[in-house]
């Protein structure tokens, strides 16, 4: 079974408002997050063996549900990824290839910590119903499930992996 997992992403660590986002930053965000995902989806749909039970898994963000100020361009770029994956799942009808998104929330990665104060990180950890910032393994286990036999009946979905915290 062939599996494609795309987890590339760019988030401007300045967290600018929409009106303060430089056109260059907008273009970089969409080039990385949306165009990159499009190319991966396009090529995976051609290359993953039809009838072989393949998996296409894209990364989005729980910010698509939270809609937090300062994340506008990032969120818009990932919302486009979610839409593409949902359409792709329907376009792959009959191929036994699934297409899904995993949408992490606050996960302890360089991208999450960039531009955030220790105070902000502590506030986000304490606001989480789980009482902590997520770990990469929390996301990896969901991706592993979707990539395996257990994910066969999950298709065209967005799974928000955020410990219950949507900020």
Residue 121 lies in a domain: yes
Q: What is the pLDDT of residue 52?
A: 75
Residue 167 lies in a domain: no
Residue 166 lies in a domain: no
* CA–CA separation, 103 and 54 (whole Å): 20
Q: What is the pLDDT of residue 167?
A: 60
Residue 109 lies in a domain: yes
Q: What is the pLDDT of residue 48?
A: 85
**14-72: pLDDT as tens digits:** 999 999 999 999 999 999 999 999 999 999 998 887 667 799 999 999 999 999 999 99
Neighbours of 160 (CB within 10 A): 20
Q: What is the pTM of this model?
A: 0.93
Which is more confident, 57 or 166? 57
The CATH number for 82's domain is 3.40.50.720
The rounded percent of the chain whose pLDDT value lies above 70 is: 98
Domain around 77? 3-161
Q: How many domains does the chain have?
A: 1
Residue 89 lies in a domain: yes
Written as one string, the DSSP assignment of 55-112 is: EEEEE--THHHH--TT-HHHHHHHHHHHHHHHHHHHHTTTTT-EEEEEEE-SBSSHHH
**111-132: pLDDT as tens digits:** 999 999 999 999 999 999 999 9
* Annotation says 15 is catalytic: no
Contact status, residue 50 vs residue 96, Cβ threshold 8 Å: yes
Contact status, residue 65 vs residue 105, Cβ threshold 8 Å: no
Q: Is the pLDDT of residue 106 over 90?
A: yes
Among 15, 71, 74, 113, the active-site one is: 74
């Amino acid at each position: 079974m062939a599996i494609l997992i795309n987890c590339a992403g760019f988030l401007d660590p300045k967290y600018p408002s929409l009106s303060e986002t430089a056109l260059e930053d907008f273009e970089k965000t969409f080039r990385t997050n949306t165009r990159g995902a499009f190319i991966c989806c396009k090529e995976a749909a051609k290359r993953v063996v039809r009838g072989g039970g393949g998996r296409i898994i894209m990364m989005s963000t729980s910010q698509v549900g939270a809609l937090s100020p300062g994340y506008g361009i990032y969120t818009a770029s990932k919302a486009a990824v979610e839409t593409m994956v949902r359409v792709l799942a329907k376009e792959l009808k009959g191929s036994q290839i699934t297409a899904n998104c995993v949408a992490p929330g606050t996960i302890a990665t360089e991208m999450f910590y960039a531009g955030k104060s220790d105070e902000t990180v502590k506030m986000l950890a304490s606001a989480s119903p789980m009482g902590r910032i997520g770990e990469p393994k929390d996301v990896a286990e969901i991706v592993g499930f979707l990539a395996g036999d257990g994910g066969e009946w999950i298709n065209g979905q967005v799974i928000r992996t955020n410990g219950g915290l949507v900020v």
